[in-house]
Every structure is written in C-alpha cells, then in structure tokens.
Structure 1
Amino acid sequence: MIGIDLIKTSRMNRLMERFGDKALQKFLSSQEIQLIKNYKTASGFWAVKEATSKALGVGIGNECSFHDISITKTQKGAPQIELAEHIIQKHNIQDTSVSITHDGEYAIAVVAIQTK
C-alpha cells in the first residue's frame, strides 16, 4: 500500500506563527516536536502522517489519528514510522518505508506499507 501527501510549507509557517507549539501538539508528540527544526520540517512531518493514513486507506480520523503515527529518525537522520499496535494488528502491517522531500515552498512525503 502506498500513500503520498503534499503540503505548501507557508501554510505550516502561518499555523506555527499563530499558535506556536500548540499547533504542533495537535499532530505531533513531544518527542516528535523535539525533532522539528523549523516550519519546513514540521510540514514534512505533517505530510508523512497524511501519507501514512492514505496508505492505510482510512485517512486521518477515528480509525487512525495523527497520534497513532509516530515519526522517529535513524542514527543517520533518515525518517522512520512507528504505528500504534491497534493499527498494526488491524491492517496486518509487517513493515513501513517513508521518504520526505522539500522543494521550494512544498514538502512531499511518500509512505509504503507492507502487509503480511
């Protein structure tokens, strides 16, 4: 299963300027917020979570919330996804892959989910 998302980074910049960390807390855990360097990084994380929910075929909502999807980094700084146990079980997830890129005013994320 594959999901993709695109976000204009200026949208995230306005959100962060207006609401600060409260804006980030709506879709990120405190550990994820520590990884945020600026609004462009936050935009990439938003795109990852949206792309993940699309790969699951459910979108963000009751079945899968932003906080059911966690983003961490490898020792080399590459992003990786951790999913809540109920998501793993319900969708029989075996593995995930994620890629984030930024170009100009946009952040794009692609997520691949392998099932059993």
Structure 2
Amino acid sequence: MIGIDLIKIDRMKRFMERFGDRGLQKFLSDNEILLIKTHRNAAGFWAAKEACSKALGCGIGSECGFHDIILSKTPKGAPQITLIPSVRERFGIADISVSITHDGDYAIAVVALEKSHSL
C-alpha cells in the first residue's frame, strides 16, 4: 500500500511562527521535535505522517493518530517510520518504507507499507 502527501513549506513556517513548540506537539513527540531543525524539516515530517495514514487507508483520525506514527532517523540520517504496536497489529503491517524530499516551496513524502503474509 502506498501513500503520498505534499505540503507547502511556507504553511508550516507560519504554523511554527504562530504556535511554536506547542503547535509541533500536536503532531510530533518530544523526541521527534528534537530532530526538527527548520520549518522545512517539520513540513517533511508532517507530510510523512499524512502519507503513512493514507497508505493505511484511514487518514489521521480515530484509527491512527499523529502520535501513533513515530518518525526517527537512521545513523546515516535517513527518515524511518515506526507504528505503535496496536496500529501495526490492527492493520497487519510487516514493513514500512518512507522517503521525504523538499523542492522549492514544497515538502513531499511517500510511504510504502507491506502487509504481513499471515493476513
């Protein structure tokens, strides 16, 4: 299953200027906020979480919220996604791949989910 999301970076810049860390806490954990260096990074993380929820087929809501999708970085700095166990089990997810890119005024993320063979 594949999900994609696009966000205008300036939208995240205005959001961060208006709400600061309190706003970031609406969709990021404290550990994720530590990884944010600029509004470009924050926009990419937003897009990745939205893309993941779209790949699950439910969007952000009661079945999967922003804090159910955990972003981190590999030792080489590549993004990675982990789902909380209850969401991973509910949707039968075996593996997750994510790619985030920034071009001009936009941040784009693509997430590919692989279902467990037992389902």
Fold match, TM over 0.5? yes
What residue identity is the alignment partner of 1:94? A
Matched, 1:12 2:17: no
CA distance in 1, matches of 2:43, 2:34: 14
Give the drift of 1:47: 0.1
What residue identity is the alignment partner of 1:50? E
Which residue in 2 is equivalent to 1:50?
50
What residue identity is the alignment partner of 1:51? A
Matched, 1:40 2:21: no
Which residue in 1 is equivalent to 2:62?
62
Q: Where has structure 1 moved over 6 Å in runs of 4 or more?
A: none
Which residue in 1 is equivalent to 2:78?
78
What residue ranges of structure 1 are gaps of 5+ in the alignment? none
After superposition, give the CA deviation of every residue in 1:40-81 in whole Å (9 maximum; x if it has no partner). Answer: 000000000000000000000011000000000000000000
Give the drift of 1:103: 0.3
What residue ranges of structure 2 are gaps of 5+ in the alignment? none
CA distance in 2, matches of 1:17, 1:91: 36
